[in-house]
Copies of this chain bind each other. A is one copy, B any other.
């Protein structure tokens, strides 16, 4: 179905144009008109793909989540198999933080998206579901690691999951260069060192 593929490709190209607008000019610039200009299409063409700004943002966020998942999957292909839960958690955290251009763009999108979602019912539902899915994925890894003896059995999986999620709090500190990427990674590794007790993990790379 070449037509459907074209449609998806065009939507992704528009989502990337939206990211560039947000990355360079900030959220206030992310109007349908500005994104159409950046994507090199007319406003009418853009509206053929996205009926509203909210629909465009919603697609762009899903697309960002997919690209993040792809980066994590590529990273996982390079570690020992089967991947140690610690390696998975580290990769997820690293790809959620603004440490390279692609992650920076989706991180800024995501921060702006949360703010907009607080005042838009449909966006709020999508943002909440996305965060809940992310939290459930991390909780699954934590519970698996406890069951496999890689995390001490006395640890509370809910608390540990939330403390891992909290590490995304480095985002504004990295964006404004209050801490360095090196410092953020050192803190993440220190946190994971204290969480994981087993010797099966092959050490920092």
Contacts and interface: CB of A to CB of B under 8 A. Distances in A.
A131 B172 CA distance: 9
Q: Determine the main DSSP class of A at the interface with B.
A: helix
Interface stretch (A20-28, A36-44, A82-90, A142-150): A20-28
Interface size class of chain A, counting residues whose CB lies under 8 Å from the partner chain: 35 or more
A122 B187 CA distance: 30
Contacts of A118: 26, 108, 175-176
Copies of this chain in the oligomer: 2
A163 B178 CA distance: 14
B162 A28 contact: no
A112 interface: yes
A55 to B, nearest CB: 16
Contact of A115 (B111, B156, B173, B179): B111
A24 B26 CA distance: 21
Contacts of A171: 169
Contact of A159 (B28, B128, B159, B187): B187
15 contacts: A26-B115, A26-B116, A111-B114, A114-B176, A127-B176, A128-B178, A132-B178, A135-B178, A156-B190, A162-B173, A162-B179, A162-B186, A165-B170, A165-B173, A167-B169
Interface string A81-125: 000000000000000000000000000100110111111100010
A163 B135 CA distance: 19
A175 B114 contact: yes
Given A116-B26, A169-B167, A169-B169, A162 B187 contact: yes
Nearest to A186: B159
A166 interface: yes
A73 to B, nearest CB: 24
